[in-house]
């Protein structure tokens, strides 16, 4: 619940915030309309059936619309763009059982958007009328106190679907989203997804199973906060984020990692130093950590002292 005085969230609400995302604003146009694909410069009647909200006129600093048959004219790419959107949607866990026709309807109404690193894509309080499939990049679900202290509830990566729980409630978003890297997403309208859930029971069941998995993950996160101190929570995070070469590329800055763990940057640096002194990690760069002894790191998480 929110405080009537401040509008901020109470602690009881925060475990679910990682899935509460907002509609993008100020997006960079990539040539996809909300209803169909429109090639920049295409002047065919098919492309102009509905206006492209991303199209720019020559007078507004854009390229204008060259006449059909001119050197600047390019053919429509409806099938190509829909195919790209279908590939993205097929990678979504709860959409795996969906029919091809159902996915095609979603793809036709979806649009691709991109933001630079550090951009706030959406903010607390906007309507929950869509969700997003991350194609590339990382996005943090974040909020801040009245005193400016920032917390990151979850960092979502490629294939994850920020905001998909909100589309059922059709409520207001309860977290902001900030890109930690350059990020591209596919925005999917909530109404189209709700219609698909009603039409295809297998998709609805997959959606429910996805909610169960999220609840289990949140339970483990809450247990870590209660049962583990900061160095051990950090060790668990590094072990989970490591690639096959035992390297960890920190999402965003150290301040972002500190916000993810709910601590100050100074406390984070002390915990990193403890793990380094214990011979468990080494620093390749300020944002890249190498795990030297994964077995020792796991034992440390389980309660054994470092060293």
φ, ψ at 69 (rounded to 5°): 90, -10
Give pTM, 2 decimals.
Answer: 0.68
Which strands sit side by side in the sheet containing 288-291, from one edge to the other? 247-249, 288-291, 281-285
**CA 221 to chain CA mean position, Å:** 18
Has residue 30 got a pLDDT over 60?
no
Is residue 70 very low, low, confident or very high in pLDDT (cuts 50, 70, 90)? Answer: very low
Stretch (H or E) spanning 112: strand 111-115
Residue 2 has pLDDT above 50, yes or no: no
- With contact defined as beta carbons under 8 Å apart, do 204 and 126 qualify? no
What length does the chain have?
307
For residue 155, what are the contacts with CB-CB under 8 A and spacing of at least 6? 138, 139, 140, 141, 180, 251, 252, 260
Helix or strand run (H / E) with residue 132: strand 130-136
Longest Cα–Cα distance of the chain, Å, equals 73
Whole-number pLDDT of residue 135 = 96
Is a pLDDT exceeding 50 seen at residue 34? no
Calculate the average pLDDT of the chain: 77
Q: What is the pLDDT of residue 204?
A: 96
| Residue recorded with tokens 């998480």 | 301
Q: What is the pLDDT of residues 86-101, one digit of tens each?
A: 999 999 999 999 999 9
Identify the structural domains of the chain with CATH numbers, from first to last: 11-37+77-213 (2.60.120.10), 228-301 (1.10.10.10)
DSSP H helices in 124-253: 166-169, 190-199, 201-227, 230-241
User: Closest Cα partner for 155 from 231, 249, 87, 244?
Assistant: 249
- Tell me the average pLDDT across 53-80: 39
| pLDDT beyond 70 at 112 | yes
Which of 3-17, 48-62, 79-93 ranks highest by mean pLDDT?
A: 79-93
Determine the average pLDDT of the residues in 193-222: 92
The pLDDT of residue 303 is 84
Residues 6+ apart with CB under 8 A from 29: 54, 56
SS3 call for 304? coil
Q: What is the pLDDT of residue 120?
A: 87
Partners of 28 in the β-ladder: 114
The mean pLDDT of 63-73, rounded to a whole number, is 38
Q: Two tokens at 55?
A: 């199209």
Angle at 179 between CA 173 and CA 79, to 5 degrees: 85
pLDDT reading at 305 higher than 90: no
The closest alpha carbon to 160, from 180, 176, 143, 137, belongs to: 137
pLDDT at 307: 59
Most confident by average pLDDT, 112-126, 128-142, 198-212: 198-212
Q: Which residue has the higher pLDDT, 200 or 120?
A: 200
Write the pLDDT tens digit of every residue in 175-205: 888 889 999 999 999 999 999 999 999 999 9
Q: Is the pLDDT of residue 69 over 70?
A: no
Give the DSSP H or E segment for 151: strand 150-156
Coil, helix or strand at residue 136 = strand
What pLDDT sits at residue 151?
85
**Token digits for 153?**
């509830």
Is the pLDDT confidence value at 208 over 90?
Answer: yes
**What is the per-residue pLDDT across 234-263, written as a single tens digit (0 to 9) for each?**
999 999 889 999 999 887 788 888 888 888
Report which DSSP code applies to 13: G
- CB within 8 A of 24, min separation 6: which ones? 113, 115, 121, 122, 132, 185, 187
Across the range 3-14, mean pLDDT stands at 45
């Amino acid at each position: 619940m929110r405080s009537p005085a401040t509008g901020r969230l109470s602690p009881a609400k925060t475990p679910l915030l990682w899935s509460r995302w907002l509609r993008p604003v100020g997006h960079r146009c990539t040539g996809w309309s909300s209803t169909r694909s429109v090639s920049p410069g295409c002047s065919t009647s098919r492309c102009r059936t509905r206006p492209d909200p991303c199209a720019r006129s020559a007078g507004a600093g854009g390229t204008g619309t060259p006449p059909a048959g001119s050197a600047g004219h390019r053919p429509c790419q409806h099938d190509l763009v829909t195919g790209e959107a279908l590939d993205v949607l097929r990678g979504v866990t709860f959409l795996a059982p969906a029919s091809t026709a159902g996915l095609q309807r979603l793809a036709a109404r979806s649009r691709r958007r991109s933001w630079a690193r550090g951009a706030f894509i959406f903010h607390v309080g906007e309507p929950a009328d869509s969700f997003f499939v991350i194609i590339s990049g990382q996005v943090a679900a974040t909020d801040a106190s009245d005193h400016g202290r920032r917390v990151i509830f979850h960092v979502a990566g490629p294939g994850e679907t920020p905001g998909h729980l909100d589309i059922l409630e059709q409520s207001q978003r309860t977290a902001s989203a900030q890109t930690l890297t350059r990020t591209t997403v596919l925005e999917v309208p909530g109404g189209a997804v709700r219609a698909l859930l009603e039409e295809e029971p297998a998709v609805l069941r997959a959606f429910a199973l996805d909610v169960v998995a999220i609840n289990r993950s949140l339970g483990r996160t809450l247990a870590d906060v209660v049962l583990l101190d900061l160095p051990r929570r950090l060790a668990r995070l590094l072990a989970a984020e490591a690639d096959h070469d035992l390297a960890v590329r920190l999402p965003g800055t150290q301040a972002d990692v500190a916000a993810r763990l709910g601590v100050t940057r100074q406390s984070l640096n002390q915990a990193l130093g403890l793990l380094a002194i214990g011979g468990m990690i080494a620093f390749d760069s300020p944002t890249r950590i190498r795990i030297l002894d994964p077995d020792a790191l796991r034992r440390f998480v389980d309660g054994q002292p470092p060293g």
